[in-house]
Amino acid sequence: MGEETTTDGSLQIHQRFENEGDIESPTCGLVSWRPNFLQRFAKAKWFLLFQCWFVLAQGMIVSGFQGVVISSLERRFSLKTNEIGVIVSCYDISAAIMAILVSYYGHHHKPKWLGIGAFILGIGCFLFALPHVLVGRYEPGSSATNLCSTDSLPSNLICRSSVWYHIFVFVLAEFFIGIGATPVYILGTAFIDENVRRTTSGLFLGIMYAVATFGPAVGFLLGGEFLRIYVDIKQPEGVSLTPEDSNFIGAWWMGYILGGSLSILVSLPLLAFPRELPGTPQIRAEKQRFSDTVEDDNMPHTLKQLLPSLKSLLTNKPFVFLSLASAFEGFAVGGFSTFLPKFVEAQFRISAGLASTYTGLVVVPGGCGGMLFGGYLVKRMKWTCDKTIRACFVIACLATLWAAGLFFGCPNRVFVGVTDPYINSPRSSLVNITSSCNAACNCDVKYFSPVCSKQDQRTFYSPCYAGCKADDRLGDKGYQNCSCFVTQSNEGIEGSGCQPECNNLAPFLFCLFGLMVFTFSNNIPATTATLRCVSESQGSFALGINQLIVRILAFIPAPIVFGYVIDAACKLHQEDPCDLGAKRNCLEYDTDLFRYLMLAVGGGFKLLSAVAFYFAWKFYKLPSQSQSNEGLNRESASSQITIVDGHTKKMPETELIPVAQFITVSDSGQEKPLPSKDFARTTNV
């Protein structure tokens, strides 16, 4: 069966597609306003431009700013990492709820749903920045409050617990962001695939996904710059913090204001596009000639057909395993994308802004290059669906090997009272920052400002807990003769604590780059395979169900699981003066345990993704082969004439006989099986 073969059924399908194109004139505009100058934009390249704008804003917000601000939110609102994980998961919960509705009913007018989604996404961003206004000004503490003093602490305690309505606003904002971002990949990808020729689809999707990788990158880079600005813009009087100080918090909210503005601006152009572009019916008809195009029943997208359509997808084994592969990959990506800047910050002991910058510099070339490479492979190799899935399996295996780069990290540092005891204190006093050398200092636990003793490289919680008095100061941030130092002449520096010697940042970033290349190289082939193993009218619905599976199995639980894993590596939590038994945000991590746990969870799920791609490849069969075999069996069962025991017999129409059982008679009068290559030439009546 050749790719150019055309049957009467396909001619009817082509004619139906052409008739559909005449129902609505594909013109640009809003409601009844459709001026002539707008019609020049009714082209695939213009839709691709605004779709790229949308995915850039979405990626910048969800995969960029969201990961960048994690540590700042923890310190500003006294949240543990697993609590942040729950807030982040609300995005995927709302997206999962909306995925079926958007993918199924959005089929009728995809650009309209995309425009509404962009507007809702913008509103969600503004809501997420609202707690910055509600919480009031940040009080980092001054040199006077961080020094050892016999004066009693003030009676007005500042609690280190989050107010419930701050968390509620974050959760509500994530729900809005999730609802607004749902259509971007479900409907945007399907609209491009339906409105351009098959030879161009891979390139267009490659460009879109390449721009999508710029979104997180721009989020990381801009977010890093925003975090260099003090959270309230102007620091309080008597405070001169720098981004390198542990108690410095940057302007985390600025990114959400920018992202929300971009989303609202792009909503209008998307709303103006027609339900399909001019020439789409002809393109749809051309696609029916390819051998791996699934026969399209073109069922109406109504509530009555929802369950049959869903059953059709869930009984499609290649689709199910492709979705599981995406879910396993999504679990690793969801955890890393959320907490990667935090991981780099804690592992290599650099500021949040610098960690975000480094992460962005790796994500930009790695992710973008991987997307373009994946799109190029699909366009250049012209693989059928089975070969595309096989390529996904190979790429997933290579990506798993690059995950071993997480072994590169920095050793733990000596933290007095946490990893090592104070002088003249027993080993059993660990995880207790109070000792006899600072017992009379009336230190306030809410002010975390580490001090590093230069001579022996020991880190203290703050100048007060190091026993440093006002008379012991050397300049703005230097101290000497502090009572908790091993030697009184030892000099201490206030800031972020001691930095152990470590040269593993460059090897880590190199391996992270390789991991990004091979991880993102699989996006276009996997998406293409998902669209090819279902009928065209189910394309957007299939992507919606695929994303639903990914969200339920991956993106919803991943931030929570990774949050608990990261909290398990915490050695010192922020204490709450109002609730001494409570544990708030983490102040010091066990860096060795941190990276081992991240490697075990992330690398394990990437390996499972490769296994799922393997089974999808094994279960896939080209539709042209399976449909021709099924048609031949039905035709042969209803009208086949065979010779059995020397007598002519016509098989009844209700009796299905496997082709291998058909018998012919040789010249010698003996029966022998009919060769498989002659099946198509068997005589019918």
pLDDT the model gives residue 393: 95
pLDDT the model gives residue 360: 85
pLDDT digits (tens, 9 = 90+) for 57-84: 998 998 889 888 998 998 888 888 888 9
Its pTM stands at 0.73
- Measured between alpha carbons, how far is residue 667 from residues 114, 155, 530, 531, 678 in Å? 69, 111, 51, 51, 17
- Measured between alpha carbons, how far is residue 84 from residues 80, 137, 167, 246, 389 in Å? 6, 21, 10, 19, 36
Identify the DSSP state of 501: -
Which residue matches tokens 């069922």? 299
| CA angle in degrees (0–180, nearest 5) for 178-181-183 | 120
pLDDT the model gives residue 574: 83
| Residue extent(s) of CATH 1.20.1250.20 domains in the chain | 41-137+162-235+243-278, 309-411+503-622
Torsion sign, CA atoms 300, 304, 308, 314: positive
* Range 207-230 average pLDDT: 85
Question: Do strands 663-665 and 491-494 pair parallel, antiparallel, or not at all (unpaired)?
Answer: unpaired
Question: For the purposes of burial, counting CB atoms within 10 Å of the CB of 369, is it exposed (0-12), middle (13-18) or buried (19 or more)?
Answer: middle
Residue 162 clears pLDDT 90, i.e. is over it: no
Least confident of 115-119, 216-220, 558-562: 216-220
Which band of pLDDT confidence, cut at 50, 70 and 90, is reported for residue 670?
Answer: very low
pLDDT digits (tens, 9 = 90+) for 557-607: 999 999 999 999 999 888 776 666 667 788 899 999 999 999 999 999 999
pLDDT the model gives residue 629: 53
Question: Which residues are within 8 A (CB) of 619 and not within 5 positions of it... i.e. 6 or more apart?
Answer: 317, 318, 321
Domain 41-137+162-235+243-278 matching CATH 1.20.1250.20: the answer reads yes
8 Å CB contact between 14 and 285: yes
Q: Provide, rounded to the nearest whole percent, the portion of the chain with pLDDT above 90.
A: 29
Backbone angles phi, psi at 519, to 5 degrees: -65, -50
d(CA 35, CA 33): 6
Which band of pLDDT confidence, cut at 50, 70 and 90, is reported for residue 290?
Answer: low
426 or 379: which leads in pLDDT: 379
8 Å CB contact between 160 and 128: no
8 Å CB contact between 47 and 111: yes
Question: Which residues are within 8 A (CB) of 325 and not within 5 positions of it... i.e. 6 or more apart?
Answer: 392, 396, 526, 609, 610, 612, 613, 616
Least confident of 14-23, 135-144, 456-465: 14-23
| CA angle in degrees (0–180, nearest 5) for 391-394-400 | 140
Residue 182 clears pLDDT 50, i.e. is over it: yes
- Measured between alpha carbons, how far is residue 367 from residues 201, 373, 385, 402, 518 in Å? 20, 10, 24, 14, 8
Domain 309-411+503-622 -> CATH class: mainly alpha
pLDDT the model gives residue 18: 45
Mean pLDDT, rounded, of the chain = 79
pLDDT the model gives residue 197: 74
pLDDT digits (tens, 9 = 90+) for 375-416: 888 888 888 888 999 999 999 999 999 999 988 999 999 999
8 Å CB contact between 544 and 102: yes
pLDDT the model gives residue 399: 93
Q: Provide, rounded to the nearest whole percent, the portion of the chain with pLDDT above 70.
A: 79
pLDDT the model gives residue 640: 43
d(CA 336, CA 547): 18
In the chain, % helix, strand, coil (3-state, to 5) comes to 60, 10, 30
